Amino acid sequence: MRDLSRRGFLQVSSAAALGAGLWNVLPAAAHAATEETNIEKAFISFRIGVPQWLNDERYRGLLAVFEKYKGVTDEVTFFTSETHPPLPLEVIQQRAEILKQRMIGARALGYRSGINLLATMGHHNENLPNSLQELYTRFTDIAGNVCQGCFCPNDEGMRGYIAEVYKAITAAEPDYIWVDDDVRLLGHMPISQGCFCDTCLEIFEKEVGKKYDRAALREAFNQTELQAKLEIRNAWLNHNRKTMIRLLGWIEQTAHAIKPGLPLGFMTGERFYEGFDFDGWAGALSGPNNSEVRWRPGGGNYTDEVPDGTAQKAHQIGRQIFLLPPSVKSIQSEIESFPYQRLRKSAHMTSVEAAAYIASGCTGAAFNVLSMYDDPLDEYDPLVSRLRDVRPFLDRMAHELGRTPVTGIHAGWCKNSYAAINPAADWFTGPRQDLGTGHTDGLYTLGLPPAYGAAHGRVTALTNDTALALSDEEVRRMLSAGVYMDADALTRLNSMGYEKFTGFTVERTIERDCIEQFTEDELNAGFSGRRRDCRQSFWYGPAQVFAKTGETCRTLAQTIDYSYQETAPCCLGVFENELGGRICVAGYYPWVQLHGLAKSSQIKSIMRWLSRDTLPAYVSSFHRINLWPRVREDGTMAVALLNASLDAAENLELCLLTTKNKLAVIDMQCREAQVIATHTDGPYKRFILPPVEPWNLRLAVTE
CATH number of the domain bearing residue 584: 3.40.50
pLDDT band at 37 (very low <50, low <70, confident <90, very high): low
For position 345, what pLDDT does the model report? 95
Are 475 and 350 part of one and the same domain?
no
Q: Tell me the whole-structure pTM to 2 decimals.
A: 0.93
Average of per-residue pLDDT values in the chain:
93
**Same structural domain for residues 689 and 565?**
no
For residue 667, pLDDT beyond 90: yes
**Residue 332 backbone phi and psi in degrees, to 5:** -100, 110
| Whether residue 440 is found in the same domain as residue 412 | yes
pLDDT top residue among 2 and 558? 558
Give phi and psi for 35, each to the nearest 5: -65, 160
Name which residue leads in pLDDT, 431 or 495: 495
- Percent of the chain residues topping a pLDDT of 70: 95
Residue 280 and residue 139 share a domain:
yes
What's the rounded Cα separation, in Å, for the pair 246 and 154? 8
Residues whose CB is less than 8 angstroms from the CB of residue 180 and which lie 6 or more positions away in sequence, other chains included: 116, 117, 118, 119, 120, 267
Which strands form 482-486's sheet, in the order they lie side by side?
450-451, 408-410, 457-462, 482-486, 582-586, 566-576, 554-560, 515-518, 531-532
Residue 200 lies in a domain: no
pLDDT for 446 equals 98
CA angle centred on 284, ends 280 and 288, rounded to 5° = 120
Q: Which amino acid is at 285?
A: L
Task: Note whether residue 23 is domain-resident.
Answer: yes
Q: How far apart are CA 401 and CA 403, in angstroms?
A: 6
Mean pLDDT of 588-614: 98
Residue 349 sits in the same domain as residue 419? no
424 and 515 co-located in one domain: yes
Q: What was the pLDDT predicted at 372?
A: 86
- Averaged over 584-598, what is the pLDDT? 98
Q: Is residue 238 part of a domain?
A: no
What local confidence, expressed as pLDDT, does residue 272 receive?
97
- Assign 435 a pLDDT band (cuts: 50, 70, 90): confident
Q: With 80 as the cut, is the pLDDT of residue 269 above it? A: yes
Summarize pLDDT for 629-663 with one digit per residue, the tens.
Answer: 999 999 999 999 999 999 999 999 999 999 999 99
Q: Is the pLDDT of residue 5 over 70?
A: no
pLDDT recorded at residue 434: 84
My answer on whether 623 and 592 are in the same domain is no
Q: What is the mean pLDDT of residues 198-216?
A: 98
The band of 488, judged by pLDDT with boundaries at 50, 70 and 90, is very high
Is there a domain that residue 47 lies in? yes
The pLDDT of 249-272, averaged and rounded, is: 98
Backbone angles phi, psi at 169, to 5 degrees: -75, -30
304/345 Cα distance (integer angstroms) = 5
Average pLDDT, stretch 291-305? 95
Work out the pLDDT band at 374, boundaries 50, 70, 90: confident
Alpha-carbon gap, residue 237 to 299, rounded angstroms: 21
- Are the CB atoms for 321 and 361 separated by under 8 Å? yes
Instruction: Tell me: do 152 and 21 sit in the same domain.
Output: yes
Residue 47 sits in the same domain as residue 121: yes
Q: Among 576, 606, 636, give the residue marking a domain's end.
A: 606
321 and 172 in one domain?
yes
The tens digit of pLDDT for each residue in 308-346 reads: 999 999 999 999 999 999 999 999 999 999 998 989 999
In the predicted model, what is the mean pLDDT of residues 516-527? 97
Candidates 285, 274, 278; CA nearest to 323 is: 278
Above 90 in pLDDT, residue 386? yes
201 belongs to a structural domain: no
**DSSP H or E run through 314:** helix 308-322
CB 451 within 8 A of CB 631: no
Selected residue with higher pLDDT from 109 and 341: 109
- Residue 212 reports pLDDT greater than 70: yes
Partners of residue 178 on adjacent β-strands: 116, 265
Whether residue 75 lies inside any domain: the answer is yes
Helix (H, G, I), strand (E, B) or coil at 638: strand
Whether residue 28 is predicted with pLDDT greater than 70 in this model: the reply is: no
| C-beta of residue 179 within 8 angstroms of C-beta of residue 104 | no
We report the CATH number of the domain holding residue 637 as: 2.60.40
Q: How many domains does the chain have?
A: 3
Q: How far is CA 152 from CA 129, 157, 353, 653, in A?
A: 19, 10, 34, 53
Q: Tell me the C-alpha distance between 331 and 314, whole Å.
A: 13
Judgement on whether residues 492 and 598 belong to the same structural domain of the protein: yes
Closest CA to 237 of 276, 211, 269, 203: 276
**Which domain-ending residue is among 401, 423, 456?**
401
Distance of CA 182 to the CA centre of its chain: 16
Last residue of a domain, one of 606, 629, 648: 606
The rounded distance, in Å, linking the Cα atoms of 458 and 256 is 42
What percent of the chain lies above the pLDDT cut of 90? 91
Within-domain flag for 224: no
Q: Is 136 within a domain? A: yes
Q: Where are the alpha helices (DSSP H) in 548-633?
A: 597-611
Print the SS3 string covering 85-152: CCCCHHHHHHHHHHHHHHHHHHHHCCCEEEEEECCCCECCCCCHHHCCCCCCCEEECCCCCEEEEEEC
Are 357 and 468 members of one domain?
A: no
34 class by beta-carbon count within 10 Å (0-12 exposed, 13-18 middle, 19+ buried):
exposed
Provide φ and ψ at 571, rounded to 5°.
-120, 0
* Domain that includes residue 138, residue range: 2-32+42-189+244-401
Q: State residue 574 phi and psi, 5-degree precision.
A: -130, 160
3-state SS assignment for residue 440: helix
